[in-house]
Structure 1
Amino acid sequence: MTEVFELQYALDTFYFLVCGALVMWMAAGFSMLEAGLVRGKNTTEILTKNIALYAIACVMYMVCGYAIMYPELGSTFLVGIGGNGVEGGDTYAPSADFFFQVVFVATAMSIVSGAVAERMKLWVFLAFAVAMTAFIYPMEGRWTWGGESVFGMYSLSMVDFAGSGIVHMAGAAAALAGVLLLGARKGKYGKNGEINAIPGANLPMATLGTFILWMGWFGFNGGSVLQTSTVDTANAVAVVFLNTNAAAAGGAIAAMVLARILFKKADLTMILNGALAGLVTITAGPDTPTPLLATLFGALGGIVVVFSILAFDKIKIDDPVGAISVHGVCGLLGLVLVPITNADATLMGQLGGAATIFVWVFGASLIVWAILKAAMGIRVTEEEEYDGVDVSECGLEAYPEFTKG
């Protein structure tokens, strides 16, 4: 390799790895966000799920998921990653690509964790994590980023820059399938149709989690440029960072204003979800909008997520952290908005890709959840739910001095 190529190779590989590390840090963000939005008696189990699912995702994607999603790359992964990236036209190490991909898998699975919180058995959740990260996610990734046809029948023409649909909507679809079989938390919905709020235990922790996710998203979207060693790619990275930040800000402000209009209060949980909704919305196409348009796209996500959370409550789909609305509904919104600024995308192509992802992930997940329900049961007992799953599932309490009389 020439000196110029060696420098480019080193820079792009280092950038790829740093962005992957930022996305890995999002696991901490999900942990803190979910732990803050559930009741104190379920905190330890939430934290256990998040660290365990990350470990499971790393192992299962290495064992088979990567090879399913990228057959040409993954077929030689376990016996050693060779090559220097020249043949494929890449200027980064193949192992860096795997690392960047595996943290996306973990992100998709993290979305499921919060939606089924406070009433699902821990080991059932972890068993589903194996299926999701080893097969369900890699298959839809094979049809999208992998470029393969869907079961040999048709090819997708969807544009999804960093994964509004491929990662976020997929995670939400898996979560929705689990929630439908699991049912709502006891006391969430009254017999006469009333909706009872169940406040989270630690809003400072939830806010910290949101800021961590906001920061990690720069790696999520910025890393998807794949390179930064030329003038063009460096400028592209800067645009993606700028638009990602703008969309999050727009989403937070829009959700805050809408909450003030609807509830006469500045609802912090809606503001947090608004920022995340803006991030999810822009993820499908952060490279083409102007900063003002990115802000407006994020604001639209912040508005949609508030109405979506309220709508899911009305139809009695209990999602303690609003994950299905943030990642599913706003993931779809992000895909639909891409053609506005990207001439390579069409509305029908975006909708076709979204439908394929949802039908596959939701259907496959529903089957896996149903098998687990029949074999093991997926819900803790009513007594265990009342006492909190920390003790029954983990044998530890997150805040023992506050819960013991």
Structure 2
Amino acid sequence: MDLSALASGLDTIWVVLTAAMILLMEGGFALLEAGFVRQKNAVSIIMKVFVDITFGALIFYFFGFGLMYGKDVSGLIGTSGFMMGGDLTHIKLSISNDTYWLFQCAFVIAVISIVSGAVAERINFHAYILYTVAMTGFIYPIAGHWVWSAGGWLGSLGMIDFAGSAVIHAMGGFSALAAAIFIGPRIGKFSDDGTPNIVPPSNLPLASVGAFVLWFGWFGFNSGSTLSATNSSIGHIAVTTMLAAAAGGATCILFTMLRYRKADPPMVINGSLAGLVGITAGCAFVSDGAAIFIGAVCGIAMVFATEFLESKRIDDPVGAFAVHGVSGSIGTLAVGLFAKPELAASVGQGYSGLFYGGGWSLLGVQALGLIIVAVWGFALTWIALKLIGRLAPVRVSRDEELVGLDVGIHGVPAYSQEHDFIELNKLKSR
């Protein structure tokens, strides 16, 4: 066996394993969101995650991958690769197109899971399936094409988004914000005067385990984006990923102790996730110290973003926008400040941030790309939900929401109790 064939085999194993790590993050999303919502809506979270994986994978295979990575037209859209057919010769990697599709499929499933948390406890299941089709088949693939595909217009301008702070997290986070505003707050979340009421999470230990699973999967998310098992930057990427997550969580512990006089568990959980989101764009390009700084800033910004949404009567039960939208934005811009030329060279790039003599150009491109993908995600989500509303109610009925989506929509509680079946029978008799 020659060395090129051996390298290709190693790269294939690496990419498949990291894709599996990213897919395991869906278990993390399920545990995290089920722990953050009330007990009566835990099954609905699990069912939405299954929609993400099943419908998301199929739609991305049929349509999404082709629009995202197909042969480029004017830097805007792909036109081949539907069902993995047609001309894909422009994808020049050491791995097969099938292997590449699997890795990208794991990414698209993560995107829709971001939106899932923002509309938890009140979205109609039928409407969610239709929105999943829209996100995985069109909204995300088009934004991804602009940044990541050969010929995409934002990528051609020089935008850097190594593993997706902008394309996945900022775009997904602003989509989540649009969905949360569109569907409205949960019943009882806000008083008549706008004061937010506490809706206690059902199981914080479960949510914390979900965060740990996500943290584990993030090493596949970031390090796997090298698409090569022999890339010398893998170790550095893993270190910056770890440091940013630790900084985000540690900062939240200290900051909430100062602000609320006690460490706030949901904030600390989201603080670590915010650090992970923030480092995703620049994990291969920034130093260890910059990674710690980025994670810390994201952790604090997440707290303020959560408070801001509540002040505006926007209900985001799991903090999807604060974690993904805000931290993804910070991470995208941070590349324009902290990208080191020697680190960029290790992954075949030639970029320098403002603090390393690169001037303002990279920061400007990062800001432009961030604005474009954020507005795209917000606007297209709003339009999609408007159109879906003509086919099916976007929000569940008041009775279904009060009883809980587990019983009201899926007909089974997460934890079998006699009271739940009494309520189910009442609902069916109406």
Q: What TM-score do you get using the length of structure 1 for normalisation?
A: 0.93
AA aligned opposite 2:215: W
1:76, CA displacement in angstroms? 4.5
Q: CA deviation digits over 1:206-243, x for unaligned, max 9? A: 001000000000000001111122xxx1x300000011
CA contact (8 A) 1:274 1:302 kept: yes
AA aligned opposite 1:330: S
Distance 1:402 1:294 in 2: 50
Compute the RMSD of aligned alpha carbons.
2.0
Partner of 1:78: 83
- Aligned CA distance change for structure 1 residues 284 and 212 (closer, same or farther; 3 Å): same
1:365, CA displacement in angstroms? 1.2
- Aligned CA distance change for structure 1 residues 79 and 282 (closer, same or farther; 3 Å): closer
Distance 1:216 1:325 in 2: 20
- Aligned CA distance change for structure 1 residues 117 and 161 (closer, same or farther; 3 Å): same
Q: CA deviation digits over 1:308-356, x for unaligned, max 9? A: 1011111111000001110001100001111222252511101100111
2:373 corresponds to which of 357, 372, 389: 357
SS for the counterpart of 1:179 is helix
1:321 corresponds to which of 318, 321, 334: 318
1:384 corresponds to which of 400, 407, 414: 400
Higher RCO (CA-CA < 8 Å; seq separation 6+)? 1
Distance 2:85 2:381 in 1: 32
Q: Which runs of 5+ in 2 are unaligned?
A: 72-77, 342-350, 354-361, 423-430
1:341 corresponds to which of 326, 338, 341: 338
Report the number of matched residues.
396
AA aligned opposite 2:173: A
1:362, CA displacement in angstroms? 1.3
AA aligned opposite 1:78: M
1:105 corresponds to which of 99, 104, 108: 108
Q: CA deviation digits over 1:87-114, x for unaligned, max 9? A: 8552222211100001100000000111
AA aligned opposite 1:174: S
SS for the counterpart of 1:25 is helix
SS for the counterpart of 2:390 is helix
Partner of 1:3: 2
- Aligned CA distance change for structure 1 residues 400 and 299 (closer, same or farther; 3 Å): same
CA contact (8 A) 1:143 1:156 kept: no
Bigger mean CA offset, 22-31 vs 368-377: 368-377
1:149, CA displacement in angstroms? 4.6
1:273 corresponds to which of 244, 250, 270: 270
SS for the counterpart of 2:93 is coil
Partner of 1:61: 60
Distance 1:79 1:202 in 2: 42
Q: CA deviation digits over 1:281-326, x for unaligned, max 9? A: 0001001222222112111111110111011111111000001110
- Aligned CA distance change for structure 1 residues 190 and 142 (closer, same or farther; 3 Å): same
CA contact (8 A) 1:156 1:352 kept: no
Partner of 1:218: 219
Distance 2:84 2:399 in 1: 49
1:30, CA displacement in angstroms? 0.4
AA aligned opposite 2:21: L
- Aligned CA distance change for structure 1 residues 170 and 102 (closer, same or farther; 3 Å): same
1:374, CA displacement in angstroms? 3.3
SS for the counterpart of 1:400 is coil
Q: Which runs of 5+ in 1 are unaligned?
A: none
Partner of 1:202: 203
Q: CA deviation digits over 1:233-284, x for unaligned, max 9? A: 1x30000001101110000000111111111111110000000000000001
1:373 counterpart = 2:359: no
Partner of 1:227: 228
SS for the counterpart of 1:144 is helix
Q: What TM-score do you get using the length of structure 2 for normalisation?
A: 0.88
Matches within 5 A, 1:169-318: 169-229=170-230, 233=231, 235-318=232-315
Distance 2:367 2:419 in 1: 48
Distance 1:290 1:187 in 2: 45
1:82, CA displacement in angstroms? 10
Give aligned-pair identity as a percent: 36
